[in-house]
Structure 1
Amino acid sequence: MTTPVAAIQSVQLDDEQNALILLDQTLLPNEKVFLQLTTVEEIWDAIYRLKVRGAPAIGIAAAYGVYLGTKQSNAATFSELSADFQAVKQYLASSRPTAVNLFWALNRMEERLKKEAEKSVQEIKDALRDEAESIRLEDEKICYSIGEHALSLLQPGWGLLTHCNAGTIATAKYGTALAPIYLGQEQGYDFQVFADETRPLLQGARLTAWELQEAGVDVTLICDNMASHVMKEGKVQAVLTGCDRVAANGDTANKIGTSGLAVLAKHYGIPFYICAPLSTIDFECKTGEDIPIELRKPEEITTTWYEKPMAPENVKAYNPAFDITDHELITGIVTEKGIAYPPYQESLAYLRTKD
């Protein structure tokens, strides 16, 4: 891609400065600020506060973070280095409970650590850097493949609806749910995209609408509760969303509001597709019932985005960050190795082993 947005790397390593460079997504669309984070505490805070967000981007940030934290270790032996690594890994793992890519990336870094156990401390640190960089480069290729597979499901001129942000800034490049839109833009598909506002943190309004507009895509912003009306008017031919975790049976966890879209799409006979890398599939998690749902501060609903409070003082607020979309509502799950269809227990397992 040649668009300005696709050229953005939202997560980068500055090894010479011992820093993680992040595009602060909390400041978009008004400011495009890159943060230089040099401590594990700063990286944890960036993940927790959604300065970096999107399952793949979180995984990349965690991989770089555990490398940088281990790089600063004064260990003289493998056992000492391993202890320091574990401390950093466990700390970063506590930042977000739902996004499986966070744990997947940290576990992959641990596997590389163990693989290099017989080497010198410096050689192990270098290997961890290489592994983190591989995670980022692989994600870029994965997102492109997801885009190609998803584009095969779509037709030129279609109206597409998406929720939250699953684009370039949520990944290494291209995105997941937005990847087919970007690839279609290159090929003249002329999609008309509707972006849900995505309450309460407005990722659709602040991030997706910004990304797509910057890329020259025809995008229209709607409030979350307008989706049914837009579908009923016949303006939407497919729904595309990313996700933060897929259970073995095909249930998915994604930004709050996704399951409601799936129910609406089912009602109106509109295909509903989840776009996700295989690393997002948690085969140890049998169903969506086993996925922990992060609860966030009530202030995100009542005060964060307003000059003055928009709710009664001290009113109770319930703020789950994610919901579970039942596998029966999902038309297909698009991965880098192909498209899984029901029954997902079988199709996802097959894609897992596919070369």
Structure 2
Amino acid sequence: MADQYAHSGEDKRPTETPAIRWEEPPEGPVLVLLDQTRLPAEEMELVCTDASALVEAIRSLAVRGAPLLGIAGAYGVALAAVRGFDVDEAAAALAGARPTAVNLAVGVRRALGAYRAALAEGGDGRRAAEAALAAARALHREDAEASARMAGHGLALLDELLPAGGHRVLTHCNTGALVSGGEGTAFAVALAAHRAGRLRRLWVDETRPLLQGARLTAYEAARSGMAYTLLTDNAAGSLFAAGEVDAVLIGADRIAADGSVANKVGSYPLAVLARYHHVPFIVVAPVTTVDPDTPDGASIEVEQRAGHEVTEITAPQASVAGAGGGIAVAPLGTQAYNPAFDVTPPELVTAIVTEEGVVSPVTSEALAELCARARRTTAR
């Protein structure tokens, strides 16, 4: 069950209204989400009291972004455990809510593993629920720390590749505090460059059809005082041709073992443009986004979303008339092709930036070594 309440977003930075938080009011623990479908018109929060409400929030994109989905999945398992629901059933529903984002299943498995381990050690349901919640909180904290390290590694890489400074960076979709326990992935790198006085311009793709760039990245950039400009996705080519882009920074929802990167649809065309124009194409993502069990790009399951997201336009607080709740922009009955993601092959990726360091050139061997190093670090 999800309840909803709104509050003004004026005079706040993005990090002051967290994208996700655990609360324990007198009536019982809840998971509170900033409803990203309502931004930038208003900051409205969803209060989830069970895993099914969280699954719906994930599917509707009220909560989104690979790292944050991992955190949400872990908290969802803990919520089911604390409230006495079927934990295995909740975990299965959560892990399958969005198939491309590997972090979601990773977060679910981590909290579920802690829950089962506590039971195996002779703990009761309460102790097992506490273990699941502790695992979710640890993942939340670790993601914030990883975000800060990615920002540092990414800024160092930008400075190395672009020694003249005054970086003009193009980004796609949304990769800031709204997708992370910290300040984000690719956006966090741009934000670090801004704070260091080395960001000349952030070019923001609007990111059709759901406008995560226009609604969310522009929202975060404005609140951070960054110099940014919004453009339609199909205007990016003219920017490259005019020599106005120094680097592309994107996030990832899944990175295959060979270095193929699944990210918001529209990322692959940017990689092709970047290669033609000799511009670095940089992916920023935590190590948990690398999936050794997915051998290559062709093995990545790409989520197909409802056609009405293309045939209709929705906007927060706008009057609506379409079958999907939006304003119709195509004739009734029009079929739409609406993949949520596309896949960029590793040969088009200049570097992958993670909290454990930078992989460049991107190869299966380098990624395997990165993951092994991350496991050794975690085991200490």
Structure 1 residue 114, shift from structure 2 partner = 2.8
Structure 1 residues 197 and 290: CA distance shift in structure 2, 3 A: same
Residue 324 of structure 2 is matched in structure 1 by none
1:24 aligned to 27, 30, 35, which one? 35
Structure 1 residue 6, shift from structure 2 partner = 3.0
The aligned runs of 1:204-243 (5 Å cut-off) are 204-243=213-252
Counterparts of 1:343 and 1:275 in 2: how far apart (Å)?
A: 13
Deviations 1:54-81 (A, max 9, x none): 001111111111111111227xxxxxxx
Structure 1 residues 36 and 289: CA distance shift in structure 2, 3 A: same
Residue 363 of structure 2 is matched in structure 1 by 344
Residue 248 of structure 1 is matched in structure 2 by 257
**Worse-matched range after superposition: 93-102 or 105-114:** 105-114
**Worse-matched range after superposition: 265-274 or 105-114:** 105-114
Residue 62 of structure 2 is matched in structure 1 by 51
Structure 1 residue 231, shift from structure 2 partner = 1.0
Question: Percent of counterpart pairs with the same letter?
Answer: 40
1:192 aligned to 197, 201, 207, which one? 201
Structure 1 residue 5, shift from structure 2 partner = 1.9
Q: Does 1:332 align with 2:315?
A: no
Counterparts of 1:343 and 1:53 in 2: how far apart (Å)?
A: 26
Counterparts of 1:7 and 1:172 in 2: how far apart (Å)?
A: 12
Deviations 1:174-214 (A, max 9, x none): 10001112222222223310000100000000000110011
User: SS at the partner of 1:41?
Assistant: helix
Gaps of 5+ in 2: 1-11, 160-164, 321-326
Structure 1: 4+ residue segments shifted above 6 A = none
The answer to whether the 8 A contact 2:257-2:294 is kept is yes
The aligned runs of 1:112-131 (5 Å cut-off) are 112-116=114-118, 117-118=120-121, 119-131=123-135
Residue 6 of structure 1 is matched in structure 2 by 15
Count of residues in correspondence between the two structures: 344
Deviations 1:134-191 (A, max 9, x none): 0100000001111100001224311000000011111112100011122222222233
Residue 91 of structure 2 is matched in structure 1 by 89
Scaled by the length of structure 2, the TM-score of the pair is 0.88
Residue 289 of structure 2 is matched in structure 1 by 280
Counterparts of 2:332 and 2:124 in 1: how far apart (Å)?
A: 58
The one-letter code of the counterpart of 1:243 is: A
The one-letter code of the counterpart of 1:303 is: E
Structure 1 residue 343, shift from structure 2 partner = 4.5
User: SS at the partner of 1:339?
Assistant: strand
Q: Does 1:134 align with 2:142?
A: no
Structure 1 residue 121, shift from structure 2 partner = 2.0
User: SS at the partner of 1:152?
Assistant: helix
Q: Does 1:64 align with 2:86?
A: no
**Worse-matched range after superposition: 103-112 or 45-54:** 103-112
**Worse-matched range after superposition: 242-251 or 153-162:** 153-162
Deviations 1:255-313 (A, max 9, x none): 00000100000000000000010000000110011110111111001114275411111
Residue 81 of structure 1 is matched in structure 2 by none
The one-letter code of the counterpart of 1:272 is: F
The one-letter code of the counterpart of 1:48 is: R
Q: CA RMSD in A?
A: 1.4
Deviations 1:74-130 (A, max 9, x none): 7xxxxxxxxx22111011122111100011111111221232222222111111111
Counterparts of 2:47 and 2:75 in 1: how far apart (Å)?
A: 13
The answer to whether the 8 A contact 1:195-1:220 is kept is yes
The one-letter code of the counterpart of 1:91 is: A
1:146 aligned to 147, 150, 153, which one? 150
The answer to whether the 8 A contact 1:8-1:168 is kept is no
The answer to whether the 8 A contact 1:70-1:88 is kept is no
The answer to whether the 8 A contact 2:302-2:341 is kept is yes
Scaled by the length of structure 1, the TM-score of the pair is 0.94
Counterparts of 1:243 and 1:264 in 2: how far apart (Å)?
A: 18
The answer to whether the 8 A contact 2:169-2:203 is kept is yes
Residue 257 of structure 1 is matched in structure 2 by 266
User: SS at the partner of 1:209?
Assistant: helix
Deviations 1:226-259 (A, max 9, x none): 0110111111100000010000000010000000
User: SS at the partner of 1:285?
Assistant: coil
Gaps of 5+ in 1: 75-83
Residue 40 of structure 1 is matched in structure 2 by 51
Residue 99 of structure 1 is matched in structure 2 by 101
Counterparts of 1:138 and 1:166 in 2: how far apart (Å)?
A: 17
The one-letter code of the counterpart of 1:330 is: V
The one-letter code of the counterpart of 2:143 is: D
